[in-house]
Amino acid sequence: MKENLMKSLINHILGVPVWDASENGNILEAFETEQCFDKDLQPMFTASALQYLLRVANPGTFYELVDYFDAAILFFIIDQKKYIVGPYAKSAFSDQHMENILIEHGASISKMPALKLYYTNLPILFTDQLQTIINGIIQALVPGSIPYDYRRLTGFISDIPKESATLYSEEKRYSEIYKRYDAEKRFLSMIQNGDVENIISAFKEMAEGSKQDQSIKETQQYYTTGNNIAILRALSRKAAEASGLSVITIDTITQKYAQLSSANLTIEEQNKLLNRMIIELTTAVRNHRLSIGNYSPAIRQTIEYIDLHLSEEITLKILSQNVNLSISRLSTVFKKETGDTIMNYIARQRCKKAANLLKETTFPISEISSFVGYTDNNYFVKVFKKIYHSTPSEYRLKK
Classify residue 162: in a domain, yes or no: no
Which residue, 119, 154, 189, sits at the end of a domain? Answer: 154
What is the C-alpha separation between 18 and 63, in angstroms, rounded? 14
What is the C-alpha separation between 382 and 369, in angstroms, rounded? 11
With contact defined as beta carbons under 8 Å apart, do 242 and 190 qualify?
A: no
- Give the per-residue pLDDT at 365: 92
284 and 302 assigned to the same domain: no
With contact defined as beta carbons under 8 Å apart, do 209 and 132 qualify?
A: no
130 and 28 assigned to the same domain: yes
The CATH number linked to 379 is 1.10.10.60
Classify residue 161: in a domain, yes or no: no
Which residue, 238, 263, 292, sits at the end of a domain? Answer: 292
What is the C-alpha separation between 307 and 286, in angstroms, rounded? 16
Classify residue 119: in a domain, yes or no: yes
Query: In DSSP terms, which residues pair with 66 in a beta bridge?
Result: 72
- Give the per-residue pLDDT at 371: 85
287 and 307 assigned to the same domain: no
Which structural domain, as residue segments, surrounds residue 108?
A: 3-154
What backbone torsions phi and psi does residue 64 show, to the nearest 5 degrees?
Answer: -110, 125
Classify residue 165: in a domain, yes or no: no
43 and 138 assigned to the same domain: yes
Which residue, 268, 292, 316, sits at the end of a domain? Answer: 292
223 and 205 assigned to the same domain: yes
Query: In DSSP terms, which residues pair with 81 in a beta bridge?
Result: 78
8 and 148 assigned to the same domain: yes
Classify residue 373: in a domain, yes or no: yes
278 and 211 assigned to the same domain: yes
Classify residue 386: in a domain, yes or no: yes
What is the C-alpha separation between 103 and 95, in angstroms, rounded? 12
Radius of gyration for the alpha carbons in the chain, expressed in angstroms and rounded: 27
Question: Burial letters for 29-65: b for 16+ Cβ neighbours within 10 Å, e otherwise?
Answer: eebbeebbbbeebbbbbbbbbbebbbeebeeebbbbb
219 and 307 assigned to the same domain: no
Query: In DSSP terms, which residues pair with 62 in a beta bridge?
Result: 150
- Give the per-residue pLDDT at 209: 58
What is the C-alpha separation between 368 and 189, in angstroms, rounded? 38
- Give the per-residue pLDDT at 150: 87
What backbone torsions phi and psi does residue 331 show, to the nearest 5 degrees?
Answer: -60, -40
Half-sphere exposure of 359 (CA within 13 A, CB side): 8
Classify residue 189: in a domain, yes or no: yes
With contact defined as beta carbons under 8 Å apart, do 354 and 380 qualify?
A: yes
Per-residue pLDDT of the chain (399 residues; tens, 9 = 90+): 578 899 999 999 999 999 999 865 689 999 999 999 888 888 888 888 898 888 888 899 999 998 888 899 999 999 889 999 999 998 888 887 888 888 788 877 778 888 988 999 999 888 888 888 999 999 999 888 889 988 887 655 544 444 444 454 444 445 566 666 777 778 888 898 888 888 888 887 776 654 444 443 333 345 555 556 777 888 888 888 888 787 778 888 888 887 777 657 777 788 888 888 999 999 988 887 777 667 888 988 898 888 878 888 899 999 999 999 999 999 999 999 889 999 999 999 999 989 988 988 888 999 899 888 898 999 999 999 999 999 999 999 987
Question: Burial letters for 145-181: b for 16+ Cβ neighbours within 10 Å, e otherwise?
Answer: eeebebbbbeeeeeeeeeeeeeeebeeeeebbbbbbe
Question: Burial letters for 213-252: b for 16+ Cβ neighbours within 10 Å, e otherwise?
Answer: beeeeebeebbbeeeebeebbeebbebbbebbbbeebbee
- Give the per-residue pLDDT at 134: 94
- Give the per-residue pLDDT at 213: 46
How many residues are there in the chain?
A: 399
8 and 77 assigned to the same domain: yes
Closest C-alpha to 186, from 197, 201, 210, 202 = 202
108 and 13 assigned to the same domain: yes
What is the C-alpha separation between 132 and 369, in angstroms, rounded? 54
Classify residue 164: in a domain, yes or no: no
- Give the per-residue pLDDT at 16: 93
47 and 8 assigned to the same domain: yes
46 and 147 assigned to the same domain: yes
* The total number of structural domains that make up the chain: 3
